[in-house]
């Protein structure tokens, strides 16, 4: 997994191959970053779960080739209103979007992400899929 960041520490970008065994490492890296930016522990678990679900969906659905392609996770703390902040997570891949098959019903990934986040937005095109997740706002940490 490659990681890059800005000097102020409020941004982090992780890139990994969309393989199941990398998911635990990704969750751990996101958790460490949230601790480093002093995000409240009770709100951190929701973010880690949401990004884990988003990347799990990429691993399972985005790539039909072997080996799988990359998935990029960008995280950023941003100010919202007076005295509040949120985390913006963007999970992107170069695979193709495959909406869930309604018969038989399976998977609750999107519902889970919507329950864990304030907003979920999906963009797809020939270049891949981009999923933006916005955490619930918390009082400024500084």
Instruction: State the CATH number of the domain containing residue 11.
Output: 3.30.565.10
Residue closest to 98 by CA, chosen among 52, 50, 59, 133: 59
pLDDT in tens, 14-62: 999 999 999 999 999 999 999 999 999 999 999 999 999 999 988 888 8
Total count of domains within the chain: 1
pLDDT at 116: 95
Length of the chain: 142
pLDDT at 7: 39
The mean pLDDT value for 96-116 works out to 71
Higher pLDDT pick, 22 / 7: 22
Report whether pLDDT(73) > 50: yes
pLDDT at 100: 56
Rounded to an integer, what distance in angstroms lies between the CA atom of residue 83 and that of residue 95?
38
Please give the full DSSP string across 90-141, using - where no structure is assigned: EEEESS---PPPSSS----HHHHHHHHSSEEEEEEETTEEEEEEEPPPEE--
The answer to whether the beta carbons of residues 64 and 94 sit under 8 Å apart is no
Per cent of the chain over pLDDT 70 is: 84
Rounded to an integer, what distance in angstroms lies between the CA atom of residue 23 and that of residue 17?
10
How far apart, in Å, are the Cα atoms of 130 and each of 63, 87, 103, 116?
14, 16, 25, 18
Domain that holds residue 83: 2-139
For the chain, give the mean pLDDT: 86
pLDDT at 76: 96
């Amino acid at each position: 997994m490659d990681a890059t960041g800005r000097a102020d520490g409020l941004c982090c970008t992780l890139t990994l191959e969309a393989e199941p065994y990398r998911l635990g490492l990704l969750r751990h890296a996101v958790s460490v970053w949230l601790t480093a930016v002093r995000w409240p522990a009770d709100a951190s678990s929701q973010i880690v779960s949401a990004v884990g679900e988003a990347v799990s969906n990429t691993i399972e659905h985005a790539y039909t080739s072997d080996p799988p392609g990359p998935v990029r996770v960008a995280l950023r703390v941003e100010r919202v209103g007076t005295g509040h902040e949120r985390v913006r997570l963007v999970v992107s891949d170069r695979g193709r979007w495959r909406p869930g098959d309604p018969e038989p019903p399976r998977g609750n990934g999107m519902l889970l992400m919507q329950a864990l986040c304030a907003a979920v937005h999906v963009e797809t095109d020939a270049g891949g899929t981009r999923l933006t997740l916005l955490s619930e706002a918390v009082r400024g940490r500084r």
